[in-house]
Amino acid sequence: MARIIAGVSSSHVPAIGAAIDNHRTGEPYWQRVFEGFERSKEWMRNAKPDVCFVVYNDHASAFSVEMIPTFALGTAAEFPIADEGWGPRPVPVVKGHPRLASHIAQSVILDEFDLTLCNKMEVDHGLTVPLNLMFGSPKEWPCPIIPLAVNVVQFPPPTSNRCFNLGKALKKAIESYPEDLRVVVFGTGGMSHQISGQRAGLINSKFDHAFLDNLTKNPKKLTRLSHLELMREAGAEGVEMVMWLIMRGALDEKVDEVYRFYTVPASNTAVGHIILENRIKGAKKPAAKPAAKGKKPAPKMKRAAARQKIQRIRS
Ligand code: DHB
Ligand code: FE
pTM higher than 0.85, yes or no? yes
CA-nearest residue, atom 9 of ligand 1: 268
Q: Using one digit for the tens of pLDDT, what is the confidence trace for 267-289?
A: 999 999 999 999 986 555 554 44
Could you tell me if the CB of 57 is within 6 A of ligand 1?
no
DSSP string covering 271-301: EEEEEEEE--TT-SPPPSSPPPTTPPPPPPP
pLDDT at 280: 80
Q: Measure 267 CA to ligand 1 centroid, in angstroms.
A: 7
Of 13, 125, 192, 244, the one to substitute when testing ligand 1's pocket (max ligand atoms within 8 A of C-beta) is: 13
Task: Judge contact between 96 and 106, C-beta under 8 A.
Answer: no
- The number of the ligand 1 atom at minimal distance from the alpha carbon of 190 is 4
- The CA distance from 53 to 46, in Å, is 18
CA-nearest residue, atom 5 of ligand 1: 13
Could you tell me if the CB of 248 is within 6 A of ligand 1?
no
pLDDT score of 242 more than 80: yes
H-type alpha helices, the chain? 14-21, 28-35, 38-47, 98-110, 125-135, 160-175, 205-217, 219-222, 227-234, 242-249, 303-314
More reliable by pLDDT, 93 or 294: 93
Mean pLDDT, residues 152-176 taken together? 98
Task: Judge contact between 236 and 197, C-beta under 8 A.
Answer: yes
pLDDT at 284: 55
- The number of the ligand 1 atom at minimal distance from the alpha carbon of 266 is 10
Of 58, 84, 193, 242, the one to substitute when testing ligand 1's pocket (max ligand atoms within 8 A of C-beta) is: 193
- The CA distance from 169 to 191, in Å, is 25
Task: Judge contact between 13 and 269, C-beta under 8 A.
Answer: yes
Handedness of CA 144, 48, 137, 267 (dihedral sign): positive
CA-nearest residue, atom 2 of ligand 1: 13
pLDDT at 58: 98
pLDDT at 304: 53
Of 269, 271, 273, the one to substitute when testing ligand 1's pocket (max ligand atoms within 8 A of C-beta) is: 269
Point out the residues that are catalytic. Answer: 125, 193
Q: Are strands 71-74 and 269-278 parallel, antiparallel or unpaired?
A: unpaired
Query: Which residues on adjacent β-strands are paired with residue 55?
Result: 148, 187
- The number of the ligand 1 atom at minimal distance from the alpha carbon of 59 is 6
CA-nearest residue, atom 6 of ligand 1: 13
